[in-house]
Amino acid sequence: MSAEIGAKSAGLRLLTLEMARVTEAAALSAARWMGRGDKWQADDAATQAMRTVLGQIAIDGTVVIGEGELDEAPMLYIGERVGTGDGPAVDIAVDPLEGTNLLATGAPGSIAVLAVAPRGALLGAPDMYMEKIAVGPKARGRISLDRPVEENIRAVADALGKRVEDVVVVLLDRPRNQYILDAIRAVGARARLISDGDISPALATCFEETGIDMMMGIGGAPEGVVTAVAMKSLGGDFQGRLVPQNDEEIARLKAMGVNEPTRLFTLDDLVKSDDAVFSATGVTDGPLLPGVRFLPGGVAHTVTLVARAKTRTVRFIHGRHHLATKPEAVRRLTGEGSG
């Protein structure tokens, strides 16, 4: 970590609980739309709530991973400045609602996530595919995207003290990941196919009780950067390789300084600081985080995982929110008083 980035990180410790407030607000807002079949409204509600609370925090923040380019997103767009302008200068990576389809159908696994690091520390990944692999702390340093899938699975099994046939690998159920699924089955490991959202299962690899040992597959590059912050904060490991689909995407990579399209990005390439903060709040029930519960009397319950890379301190925060006492803007976003 450079001295310049290190100096900028001095105030990040104080942001840990503030980041939890941000993802809690997004989760509370999105959860009102669970099972209602409208992923766009759910994502918009989460984005508005996240943007509102970020605006109250004493940071000089710049969104580097967000809802899209300026002409694609009205808020939390790439390059948007957030915060009060006071406090540390930081990069912000957000996914206000990971698993929009999951929420729209009431399926498990949707979460609200946020990552923050000193200015200049996060890779500004373009909106394209990324090949990914994530494992928990015991398998840190034992994986490589340059090795065959089977070899990585055997290495993780050895690191965890498991038989290969006991290893569980999560991957997105997509045709582009068929070669990985075939390799998992050929080596005798077990696969868990998911329809959406690969950040949540990556987090789960860091907690043995989830039963998830690895996350692999080709998914979104922006989500890969968010995942990298999470894995650095939780002590796990992550690698990514961008997968451009055409000449235009290759040109975008070169414009951002990536002259080798097949370059392997390690954890330290993606997060160039040992001080970063990650927060995730469950929206619908998942392998690690329970979803939002709306209780009688205008009360809601949330569970948030918040972690800091510098100390690897991990907190699970159970929030009990009396929605009627929140400011009007926040009550409106969380749906309090609506039908």
The reply to whether 223 sits in an annotated binding site is: yes
24 is known to lie in a ligand binding site:
no
98 has binding-site annotation: yes
**Residue 275, annotated ligand binder?**
no
Q: Are 109 and 194 in contact (CB under 8 A)?
A: yes
209 is in an annotated binding site: no
Does 174 appear as a known binding residue? yes
Contact (CB, 8 A) for 142 and 156: yes
Instruction: Please write down the HEC assignment for all residues of 256-310.
Output: CCCCCCCCCECHHHHECCCCCEEEEEECCCCCCCCCCEEECCCEEEEEEEEEECC
- Kindly tell me the number of DSSP H helices and DSSP E strands found in the chain: 11, 13
Question: How many residues comprise the chain?
Answer: 339
* Two structure tokens written together for 244: 């451009």
Residue 95 annotated as part of some ligand binding site: yes
What whole-number distance in Å separates Cα of residue 123 and Cα of residue 132? Answer: 15
Side-chain-side CA neighbours of residue 205 (13 Å): 36
Q: Give the residue ranges of the annotated binding site for substrate.
A: 98-100, 129, 174-176, 196-198, 220
Binding residues for Mn(2+): 43, 67, 95, 98, 223
Specify binding-site residues: 43, 67, 95, 98-100, 129, 174-176, 196-198, 220, 223
